[in-house]
Amino acid sequence: MEYRYIPYIKHSIKLAIPIVVAQAGTQLASVADSIMVGRVGSIYIAAASMASSFYLIPLLFGMGSTIAITPLTGNANGRNDLSECKVLFSNAFFLQLANAVILTLLILAFGNIIPLLDPDTEKTALAHSFFNYLAISTFPLILFFVFRAYFDGFGFTAWGMVSVLGGNIVNIFLNWVFIYGNLGSPAMALDGAGLATLIARIFTFLLIVTLAFFVPKLRLLVEIPKWHKVQKQKILSFFKVGMHIGLQSSLEIASFSLIVLFCGWLGTASAAAYQITLNISGLCYLSTMGLSSAGTVIISNYYGAGDIKSLKDAAKSVLMLAFAFTFFCSVIIIVFQSSIAPLFINDLEVVTIATTLILMMGLFQIPDGLNVTMAGILRGVLDTKMPMVINSLAFWVVMIPLAYILGFIFDFRVYGVMFGVCIGIVICAIAIFFRFRWAMKRLKAK
């Protein structure tokens, strides 16, 4: 490794660690949900998996314009234009306030599809009830992301981490209270996890607002949102960048939600085993998303400043970190594969299936991590349309048909479904790599 990359690696690590901790903390809260609900019964894990997967489809599409706040703020910050950043914040706040109301109502309506997705009426009833709690929690979640994404654009990633971890602590504690019926609460099982999530998300939003106006260096960056600063062009810029990001994210999650549905058709044990695998994979994936987000921040700053040489060196540095991290995750998962599933559930059938799925997932961590990291770097240069097309084709044209063919037609069942997922991830990573190379060469030519 050349010495010129070391400063970029250090800067990337400094930005990424808070994001990685926050992302991993979020996933750990989800893992805690599964472990705590799993003690009640495997059907509750399967129901939580169904509800969570379908909740993410409309959520991530609606959050696209929120995700766009970071690269747009980063570009303005790269030009040292604080007044422009504050204008972006006012526009982002009012846009997302409306978005939060509309999206919450749409997600509540979207939940009515759940009873039609599976013949197991007990599972769908549990999933639908849990889904409604998640839907209502969308409102504070969207507003929290306005502040977090804005501060990330300046490289102040630690405050989002503090807020998320605070919310996670509240979430896990309230899980213990509501799921099992402690401290005088009735035992609510899966509904208890939903209520805990709702309260925790409200707390997380209130915490980051408090930090924004009472931490001196953050207070310099924000102001009370002002309606007169709302500009049509700024709103359109959020949609232009965010629509592709949101569509990519929602189509990707929709494809994986269909995989969850496939596993549900194969029985409760397969659905529960796949959910356990997703929880472990999510720890690695969301942590890599932290590196991807750090890459977006760094690259957007250099892109805004017009420093193409530093931009390219930083991009390579972030990819080196992503490779090292995903390699480490892969090794850990493979070595401890047989010890993971029993942490979630005592059902021998579920544990046996999940152990094999976890091994398969561990073997494909590196292409999955590099894929999301390169996509984050491309967002930093506002290249969002082609990554959306690549992801959509890889997951819907390759992964979904292959998973169905292997799982049902060739009767490899859940193992065939999982192998189809792995192949789709590899195809996507290869295609994104070629787009990444093209984007870097174009910037060099510029």
Listing DSSP states for 114-182 in one string gives: GGGS-S-HHHHHHHHHHHHHHHHTHHHHHHHHHHHHHHHHTT--HHHHHHHHHHHHHHHHHHHHHHHT-
Lowest mean per-residue pLDDT among 24-38, 127-141, 231-245, 353-367: 24-38
Mean pLDDT of 45-70: 78
**101 confidence band (pLDDT: 50, 70, 90):** very high
Check if the beta carbon of residue 168 is closer than 8 Å to that of residue 28.
yes
Lowest mean per-residue pLDDT among 187-191, 396-400, 435-439: 187-191
**151 confidence band (pLDDT: 50, 70, 90):** very high
Q: Is 309 exposed, middle or buried (0-12, 13-18, 19+ CB in 10 A)?
A: exposed
Q: What is the pLDDT of residue 281?
A: 83
pLDDT > 90? residue 137: yes
Classify 382 in phi/psi space as left (phi over 0), alpha (psi -120 to 50) or beta: left
pTM (2 decimals)? 0.77
Name, of 25-29, 121-125, 387-391, the range with top average pLDDT. 387-391
C-alpha 16/C-alpha 260 separation (Å) is: 30
Q: What is the pLDDT of residue 44?
A: 85
Rounded-to-10 torsion of CA 114, 105, 188, 345 = 50
Mean pLDDT of 11-32: 74
Mean pLDDT of 44-51: 82
Q: What is the pLDDT of residue 203?
A: 96
pLDDT > 70? residue 157: yes
Q: Is 306 exposed, middle or buried (0-12, 13-18, 19+ CB in 10 A)?
A: exposed
**439 confidence band (pLDDT: 50, 70, 90):** very high
Q: What is the pLDDT of residue 40?
A: 79
DSSP string, 336-380: THHHHGGGT---HHHHHHHHHHHHHHHHTHHHHHHHHHHHHHHHH
The alpha carbon of 94 is separated from its chain's Cα centroid by a whole number of angstroms, namely 23
Task: Specify the DSSP class assigned to residue 446.
Answer: -
C-alpha 165/C-alpha 34 separation (Å) is: 18
**1 confidence band (pLDDT: 50, 70, 90):** low
Mean pLDDT of 358-365: 90
Side chain identity, residue 331: V
pLDDT > 80? residue 59: no
pLDDT > 70? residue 368: yes
Q: Is 342 exposed, middle or buried (0-12, 13-18, 19+ CB in 10 A)?
A: middle
What percent of the chain is modeled with pLDDT above 70?
97
Q: Which two tokens stand for residue 419?
A: 């192998």
Angle at 29 between CA 176 and CA 129, to 5 degrees: 70
Name, of 60-74, 187-201, 239-253, the range with top average pLDDT. 187-201
What percent of the chain is modeled with pLDDT above 90?
38
Q: What is the pLDDT of residue 55?
A: 83
Q: What is the pLDDT of residue 24?
A: 67
Per residue in 86-123, is it b (16+ CB within 10 Å) or e — as a string?
bbbbbbbbbbbeebbeebbebbbebbeebeebbebeeb
Q: Which two tokens stand for residue 42?
A: 């495997």
Closest-CA residue to 67 (of 19, 105, 24)? 19
Q: What is the pLDDT of residue 2?
A: 61
pLDDT > 60? residue 445: no
Q: What is the pLDDT of residue 406?
A: 96
Q: What is the pLDDT of residue 425?
A: 94
Q: What is the pLDDT of residue 427?
A: 96
Q: What is the pLDDT of residue 36?
A: 83
> In the chain, what are the helix, strand and coil shares in percent, each to the nearest 5?
85, 0, 15
Q: What is the pLDDT of residue 435?
A: 96
Side chain identity, residue 269: A
Residue length of the chain: 446
Mean pLDDT of 106-133: 88
Mean pLDDT of 259-266: 88
Q: Which two tokens stand for residue 266?
A: 């194969």
Instruction: Give the pLDDT confidence of 268-327 residue by residue, as tens digits.
Output: 889 889 888 887 887 777 778 878 888 888 898 888 888 898 899 899 989 998 999 899
Closest-CA residue to 358 (of 338, 373, 378)? 338
Mean pLDDT of 107-134: 88
Lowest mean per-residue pLDDT among 20-34, 111-125, 157-171, 230-244: 20-34
Q: What is the pLDDT of residue 27?
A: 63
Number of neighbouring beta carbons within 10 Å of residue 209: 16
Mean pLDDT of 436-442: 91
Q: What is the pLDDT of residue 444?
A: 66
